[in-house]
Amino acid sequence: LPKHVHDESSVHITIVARGKIKAYSHDWQIEATSGQIVDFRPHEPHEIMALEDNTRIINFQKRLGGVYQGDGV
């Protein structure tokens, strides 16, 4: 995933389902393998890169507070 950022109203969690990733920001980087979870802090630009072929991740992004308005579909 290219570099992006989330504000304090949302939570971004990535689960590595298969393979290996590198997640990094301006002042840290980690490698995570199958079964590991990466939890990103608000206002922290971050990027995720697959380190192995056929790597699969599951991303959860949850909006905090307020009422979900739907996506218009």
> What is the model's pLDDT at position 63?
74
Q: What's the pTM value of the predicted model, to 2 decimals? A: 0.75
Q: How far is residue 69's CA from residue 31's CA, in Å, rounded to a whole number? A: 35
pLDDT at 51: 97
Output the CA angle 14-19-22, nearest 5 degrees: 55
Spatial CB neighbours of 52, under 8 Å, sequence gap ≥ 6:
19, 20
Q: What are the 10-residue block averages of pLDDT along the chain, 73 residues in total?
A: 76 92 92 94 88 94 65 53
Q: How far apart are CA 69 and CA 46, in angstroms?
A: 27
Question: What was the pLDDT predicted at 3?
Answer: 80
